[in-house]
Chains A and B, each alone.
Chain A
């Protein structure tokens, strides 16, 4: 299998605090890779480095054959890196449909002049966008809520809108920052099913952060364990489960 994403010795610090310490790992095309580790292990920082919200101090990243040390978030989006957020970062005063439509921005071809006056490429773009948004919303069970203002929806549905907004543009790599945070067991299972479907149907490679080790070991085909910005273990779920370092540092203390 070829790799979609390779990280080489990536380091990041905030005012002297090391968030990531010479971290290297690879994500194969088409897999579901889970990042686990205690709070403060550097998981979210890692996602932020991959899609350019943060700039690494050292090391480089190869995504889909393109090598970079730092990347602008918009460029990352254009390359096909989609992203959801730990704390919902939805466009709260827009409807569900508008949120999902905005997720397609990177595919926009019409100029602002064409968009405003409905000329030239605007028609095709408009119809294409609406069709893709409708498909994604019905795929994630959001079609009923298309006209609702996002901030009025319950938390679980907002998480889905966040996923829909990232998914609609057909990303090659989908970074999910705690997609199941705050959910009960049943909702987590449902979200797992959705993520598996997304991976299968849309063909997106998934990198996700999740604290519930039970859920993660069932969902992911590849697990990377972080602790204090360092990689503790990296491999198939079964191998990671049996790794003594992981048991000592993390798994043993929770389950």
Chain B
């Protein structure tokens, strides 16, 4: 290798210290922390907080599905593990600070993810998705049939014993928002670090051509299980935030198959193998039903039928929008926005 006559032009690999990326990150953080000033409690509690958490869950599934090419329809199961672990850790180990509890809950979900990822070493595609469905049903059953997990509460529900960091109470809408947004910001940074590392590159290699990845010497089995673990770590923390940062009180059915499908839609609508795209997908999933709701208040549709029929009509419209979107923009909203930005920059070079 060292005897090559031609030496490669060594390009600087690092961006300048204050690149566009850095400025965007700083602006994004400032905007994120300013949100409670502009939004009232309703917007924070009912729209922004669930949107951010679902986007975070989308990142979790996207690491597995978009980057490693392993489809799962059991995402909500790992969210429930995170939620129930957080509840039990806060209850049974009260000396642990909240950030430590969230990390531990994520790690517990990660272990479960690795175990339920084992079938991925043998099967692919639809068969694998069917086996992730097993996780979905197993954990819903576990948390409804063994009341130890909900501290023997009659209703089998869990509610946050305390939500505080260093005596700072996080129970208010603003407090919960800061908990959610700070956790999410850190996990976004982690997600970027992962996909830009050797691990992320090897995941994408496995996704694109797994035989070639193996022939090259990538430890395919290890990387697939790692992907299940890391994906479930994100989902577990998202689940804890969903239960205590958004719902306040939750039971196992808050993490049912419906939720798993919502996360799947977020990934597909937002854009496969993207990080920020998940938040576009989450915004779509959370906002569209609300918009349709408002619309039905403005336009009188009572001639179409009673309330129940109208609710079904909303579902039909929602589904139609998803179908149209996926036909027009199969790479998701993030690629729509990318092309929009490129179109606004007339001199921009098309990326190869």
Contact A89 B220 (CB under 8 A): no
Is B286 an interface residue, CB under 8 A from the partner? no
Contacts A105-B202, A138-B7, A138-B9; A116 near B197 (Cβ below 8 A): yes
The smallest beta-carbon distance between B59 and chain A, in angstroms, is: 15
Measured CB to CB, the nearest residue on chain A to B197 is A115
Is B156 an interface residue, CB under 8 A from the partner? no
Contact B226 A165 (CB under 8 A): no
22 intermolecular pairs with C-beta atoms under 8 Å apart:
A74-B218, A77-B217, A90-B212, A94-B201, A95-B352, A101-B198, A102-B201, A102-B202, A105-B217, A105-B218, A115-B198, A117-B193, A134-B8, A134-B9, A134-B10, A134-B11, A135-B4, A135-B8, A148-B352, A165-B216, A169-B217, A201-B3
Is B219 an interface residue, CB under 8 A from the partner? yes
The contact of B9 among A51, A77, A103, A143, by CB within 8 Å, is A143
In this complex, the interface size class of chain B, counting residues with CB under 8 Å from chain A, is 35 or more
CA distance A112 to B233 in the complex (A): 15
The smallest beta-carbon distance between B20 and chain A, in angstroms, is: 17
Contact A115 B9 (CB under 8 A): no
CA distance A163 to B193 in the complex (A): 29
- List the A side residues contacting B193 at CB < 8 Å: 116-118
- List the A side residues contacting B7 at CB < 8 Å: 135, 138
Contacts A106-B217, A134-B8, A152-B352; A91 near B198 (Cβ below 8 A): no
Contacts A130-B13, A138-B9, A201-B3; A92 near B208 (Cβ below 8 A): yes
- A-B contacts at CB below 8 angstroms, number: 117
Is A68 an interface residue, CB under 8 A from the partner? no
Contact B209 A91 (CB under 8 A): yes
The contact of A139 among B6, B10, B217, by CB within 8 Å, is B6
Contact A53 B208 (CB under 8 A): no
Is A209 an interface residue, CB under 8 A from the partner? no
- List the B side residues contacting A25 at CB < 8 Å: none
Contact B212 A132 (CB under 8 A): no
Contacts A78-B217, A143-B8; A108 near B212 (Cβ below 8 A): no
- List the B side residues contacting A89 at CB < 8 Å: 209, 211-212
